[in-house]
Amino acid sequence: MIHTMAWRNLWRRKQRTLFTALAMGVGVALSMGSMALQAGIFSEVFDEMVTDTLGHVQVHHPKYPSLKHLHDTLPNAQSLLNKAESIQDVRVVAPRLFSVALVGSETQSAGALIMGVDPERETKLSEIDLELISGQWLSKQPKHEMTLGIELAEELGVQLNDELALVGQDAYGGVAQGLFKVVGLIESGLTELDQAGVWLHLTDAQDLFALDDQVHELIIVGGHSAQEAMNFGKGQKQVQAFKKLINTALNEQKEGSSHLLIQTWREARPSVSQLMDTQQASAYIMLIIVLAVAAIGVLNTMLMNIYERSRELGVMLALGVKPGQVRQLIFTESFYLASLALLMGLMLGGLIDYLLATYGLDFSVDGKGLSYGGVRLSPRLYGIFEQSALWLSVFALYSMTLLASIWPAFKASRIEPIQAISRGEQ
């Protein structure tokens, strides 16, 4: 009986009901679309910064992350690398050596971040060979080749097959210098690397900086496929368990955990961890918008309904209807209003999510994507539908509708029957 009355009462003012439900539904739809677009952006940032760059677990000399000294290396790197690759659930292990140097052509020079990498392992980790704008990736064997970030190449005014000089300092304080042939230009998606990145074969970099069989870090990625690896890194408990597995296996070889610093990507780069966590905060902001729209809509509609039906409610109370039943009636009306709004919101939101996932949005500036957190995003950004976003929107809508209807429900149940009836007769 109450459900029938609530449904009929809702349609006494069709225009008001539809307008309120539509406003609430648009809020849900915009929330779904915004969270889908955010999920797409953060997925791209995560893939670029974590899966392709930071890995799931990093291994360093204990002093290297804080001091960045050239000589704080992992010795016997090949042996350590082989040990890491033999660990269960390890998909890729990529060794890296870092330094800074001056890179110069015949007419221009600039500071550069030098990265010595194993060409094969690096492509398995980051697929960096697919980010080449022109030329080719480093050869499997050391041949004094280099690839440059695209913006650094433009600054130096160099082209493929040009020879550039690298001048820096080796691990013993001597001069490190050499000539290298430019074989490729890369647009990595990371602003820092595009502006200053120089990739060398690991062996060439070790020879240049007098670091034979030494590296500064091992990047370790778990999982059995690229998609599994990306999902693997998002679970904090899973990554922590993976770190424990790596720590146990590698520190057996080094006879003591003090010789190796093993960290998850969140521990190694807290700033990136905080950046990724802002996705949840952004989702909550959108939910607050939905809540505000829902609350205002329900409160306004219910109060207007109660004001217009004060005589009717007074008669019901005079005939013996209990205040609790009146409150139940108002709550039921609010529930039906929220359900109608949810139906509209899911239809419109589903369409928005489909369009974002299929066609995306063009955010390009001069043909280039926007930069977010040091990551150069794709010119066209696509949304990703996540069930969690849908359920959050549903939960938020119903929760706030219930809260917003508390005051109108108690106001209706406390109407004085005699005053309401007499006021209605005037």
Q: What is the DSSP string of 334-390?
A: HHHHHHHHHHHHHHHHHHHHHHHHHT-EE--BTTB--EETTEE--SEE-----HHHH
Tell me, what's the pLDDT at 254? Answer: 44
- With beta carbons less than 8 A apart as the criterion, state whether 334 and 402 touch: yes
Tell me, what's the pLDDT at 61? Answer: 94
Tell me, what's the pLDDT at 257? Answer: 41
Tell me, what's the pLDDT at 10? Answer: 76
Q: How confident is the model at residue 31 (pLDDT cuts 50, 70, 90)?
A: confident
The gap from C-alpha 120 to its chain's centroid, in whole angstroms, comes to: 28
Query: What is the maximal distance between C-alpha atoms in the chain?
Result: 101
CA torsion sign for 72, 146, 165, 134 is negative
d(CA 205, CA 172): 15
The gap from C-alpha 71 to its chain's centroid, in whole angstroms, comes to: 34
- With beta carbons less than 8 A apart as the criterion, state whether 56 and 233 touch: yes
Helix 406-413 with 387-404: angle, nearest 10 deg? 30
pLDDT tens digit sequence for 116-175: 999 999 999 888 998 999 999 999 999 999 999 999 999 999 999 999 999 999 999 999
Tell me, what's the pLDDT at 140? Answer: 95
Q: Any idea of the CA torsion for 221, 227, 228, 230, to the nearest 10 degrees?
A: 50
pLDDT tens digit sequence for 274-311: 877 776 777 778 777 777 877 887 888 788 777 777 77
Choice between 188 and 416, residue whose per-residue pLDDT is larger: 188
Q: How confident is the model at residue 419 (pLDDT cuts 50, 70, 90)?
A: low
- With beta carbons less than 8 A apart as the criterion, state whether 36 and 384 touch: yes
Choice between 253 and 381, residue whose per-residue pLDDT is larger: 381
Q: How confident is the model at residue 229 (pLDDT cuts 50, 70, 90)?
A: low
Tell me, what's the pLDDT at 315? Answer: 73
Tell me, what's the pLDDT at 1? Answer: 67
What distances in angstroms separate CA 101 from CA 107, 139, 175, 178, one per listed residue? Answer: 17, 22, 10, 11
Q: Any idea of the CA torsion for 261, 263, 269, 273, to the nearest 10 degrees?
A: -160
pLDDT tens digit sequence for 243-253: 999 998 887 54
φ/ψ of residue 33, rounded to 5:
-65, -45
What distances in angstroms separate CA 20 from CA 15, 25, 30, 43, 97, one per listed residue? Answer: 8, 8, 16, 35, 61
- pLDDT tops 80 at residue 27: yes
Q: What value does the mean pLDDT take over residues 93-121?
A: 95
Tell me, what's the pLDDT at 35? Answer: 87
Q: Any idea of the CA torsion for 339, 340, 341, 343, to the nearest 10 degrees?
A: 90
Tell me, what's the pLDDT at 255? Answer: 46
Closest by CA to 145, choosing from 131, 159, 129, 162, is 162
Tell me, what's the pLDDT at 270? Answer: 86
Tell me, what's the pLDDT at 256? Answer: 43
Q: What value does the mean pLDDT take over residues 318-339?
A: 82
**Burial call 126-137: b when 16+ CB within 10 Å, e when fewer:** bebbebbeebeb
φ/ψ of residue 69, rounded to 5:
-75, 140
Q: How confident is the model at residue 349 (pLDDT cuts 50, 70, 90)?
A: very high
Any residues with CB less than 8 A from the CB of 237 and at least 6 apart, and which?
A: none
- With beta carbons less than 8 A apart as the criterion, state whether 60 and 261 touch: yes
pLDDT tens digit sequence for 50-71: 877 888 999 999 999 999 999 9
Domain ranges in the chain are: 2-48+274-425, 62-222
Any residues with CB less than 8 A from the CB of 178 and at least 6 apart, and which?
A: 144, 165, 166, 204, 208
Choice between 82 and 273, residue whose per-residue pLDDT is larger: 82
The token pair at 398 is 């119903």
Q: What percent of the chain has pLDDT over 90?
A: 41
Q: What value does the mean pLDDT take over residues 372-395?
A: 82
Rounded to the nearest integer, the mean pLDDT of the chain is 85
Of the listed ranges 64-78, 211-225, 410-424, the one predicted with least confidence: 410-424
Q: How confident is the model at residue 231 (pLDDT cuts 50, 70, 90)?
A: low
Burial class of residue 359 (count of CB atoms within 10 Å of its CB; 0-12, 13-18, 19+): exposed
pLDDT tens digit sequence for 34-46: 889 888 888 888 8
d(CA 12, CA 21): 14
- With beta carbons less than 8 A apart as the criterion, state whether 223 and 198 touch: no
- pLDDT tops 60 at residue 423: no
Choice between 348 and 4, residue whose per-residue pLDDT is larger: 348
